[in-house]
């Protein structure tokens, strides 16, 4: 695990953008393409907009980039809650990404069918190779969830790589998520976390004793690669150790 701590959210996002460009270009040089699972929610929008800006747009051959989603809300792709819609507006449209390079979750299906189909889609993409994304981007909820691995949900106990539907009792909604074993197959994993509202969760996940029911992001631990945390000072404020 590596912690990268910056003063401001803009600096965090720029640090992660540079890391994204580096991993993308190394992956393309090594095996001709770059597969990335995007995070959703509010934090990554700034990252996607920066990658699509004139600062970084020409730094990557986007025709060789294949986009997946680490999690998705069970809503139509036109819904304001859709992770796909956010990425489409912030990243895909500004960069004119070919639809063939984008793998959204099919939310017209039932949640269970959507999850099963997405697992098949990922398996087909990797063909006979391991289902190992070059990069998985993640966020951290203030309740210590990541992707849609929420506290006290059955998916936390999965032991084989897959995609699952997750019922959120308090919100009465389904989400679809890569499970932790699949995320952990990734060659590289990066968390983007900023804002003081995340400080308690960052402390719990990184420094508390293992308690995956309450702090599901503790499940994330790349098997072969590295886990990079990109934090701003307020999000890192409750860390007790020196990093
Ligand atoms: O719901 C979600 O939240 C987490 C954290 O999101 P944020 O809005 O607090 O930054 C994110 O990792 C996940 O992809 C998203 O669907």
The residue extents of the domains of the chain are 2-236
Mutate to test the pocket of ligand 1, among 13, 36, 40 (most ligand atoms within 8 A of CB): 40
Query: Which residues, 6+ apart, have CB-to-CB distance to 224 below 8 Å?
Result: 132, 185, 187
Test site for ligand 1: of 16, 38, 143, 148, most ligand atoms within 8 A of the Cβ: 148
Closest residue CA from atom 1 of ligand 1 = 41
Return averaged pLDDT per consecutive 10 residues of the chain, 243 residues in all: 97 98 98 97 96 98 98 98 98 98 98 98 92 97 98 98 97 98 97 98 98 98 92 98 85
Q: Which atom of ligand 1 is nearest to the CA of 43?
A: 10
pLDDT value at residue 18: 98
What atom of ligand 1 comes closest to residue 70's alpha carbon?
A: 14
- Report how far ligand 1's centroid is from the alpha carbon of 189 (Å): 15
**Distance in Å, CA 142 to ligand 1 centroid:** 9
Q: Give the Å distance between the CA of 144 and the centre of ligand 1.
A: 10
Instruction: Provide the pLDDT for residue 242.
Output: 85
Kindly provide the b/e burial profile for residues 1-20, where b requires at least 16 CB atoms within 10 angstroms of the residue's own CB: eebbbbeebebbbbbbbebb
Judge: domain 2-236, CATH 3.90.1010.10: no
**177 and 164 Cβ atoms separated by less than 8 Å:** yes
Is any ligand 1 atom within 6 A of the Cβ of residue 216?
no
Determine the distance separating the centroid of ligand 1 and the alpha carbon of 128, expressed in angstroms.
31
Predicted confidence at residue 230, as pLDDT, reads 98
Q: What is residue 225's predicted lDDT score, i.e. its pLDDT?
A: 81
Q: Is the CB of 147 under 6 A from ligand 1?
A: yes
What was the pLDDT predicted at 179? 98
C-alpha of residue 14 to centroid of ligand 1, in Å: 19
Residue 127 phi, psi (nearest 5): 55, -120
Helix (H, G, I), strand (E, B) or coil at 209: coil
- Closest Cα partner for 49 from 92, 20, 19? 92
pLDDT at 243: 81
Res 41: pLDDT: 92
How many CB atoms are closer than 10 A to CB 170? 7
pTM: 0.97
Q: Indicate which residue's Cα is closest to atom 3 of ligand 1.
A: 41
Q: What is the pLDDT of residue 130?
A: 86
């Amino acid at each position: 695990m590596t912690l990268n701590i910056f003063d401001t959210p803009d600096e965090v996002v720029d640090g992660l953008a540079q890391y994204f460009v580096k991993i993308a270009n190394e992956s393309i040089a090594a095996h001709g393409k770059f597969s990335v699972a995007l995070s959703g929610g509010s934090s990554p929008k700034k990252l996607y907009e920066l990658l699509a800006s004139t600062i970084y747009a020409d730094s990557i051959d986007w025709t060789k980039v294949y986009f997946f989603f680490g999690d998705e809300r069970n809503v139509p792709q036109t819904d304001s809650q859709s992770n796909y819609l956010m990425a489409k507006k912030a990243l895909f449209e500004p960069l004119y990404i070919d639809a063939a390079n984008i793998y959204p979750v099919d939310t017209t299906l039932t949640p269970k069918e959507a999850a099963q189909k997405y697992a098949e889609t990922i398996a087909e993409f990797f063909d006979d190779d391991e289902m190992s994304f070059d990069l998985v981007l993640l966020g951290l909820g203030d309740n210590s969830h990541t992707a849609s691995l929420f506290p006290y949900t059955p998916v936390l106990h999965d032991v084989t790589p897959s995609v699952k539907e997750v019922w959120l009792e308090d919100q009465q909604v389904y989400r679809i998520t890569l499970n932790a074993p699949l995320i952990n197959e990734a060659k590289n994993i990066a968390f983007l976390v900023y804002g003081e509202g995340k400080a308690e969760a960052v402390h719990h996940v990184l420094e508390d004793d293992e308690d995956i029911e309450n702090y599901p992001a503790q499940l994330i631990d790349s098997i072969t690669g590295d886990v990079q945390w990109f934090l701003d000072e307020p999000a890192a404020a409750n860390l007790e150790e020196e990093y």
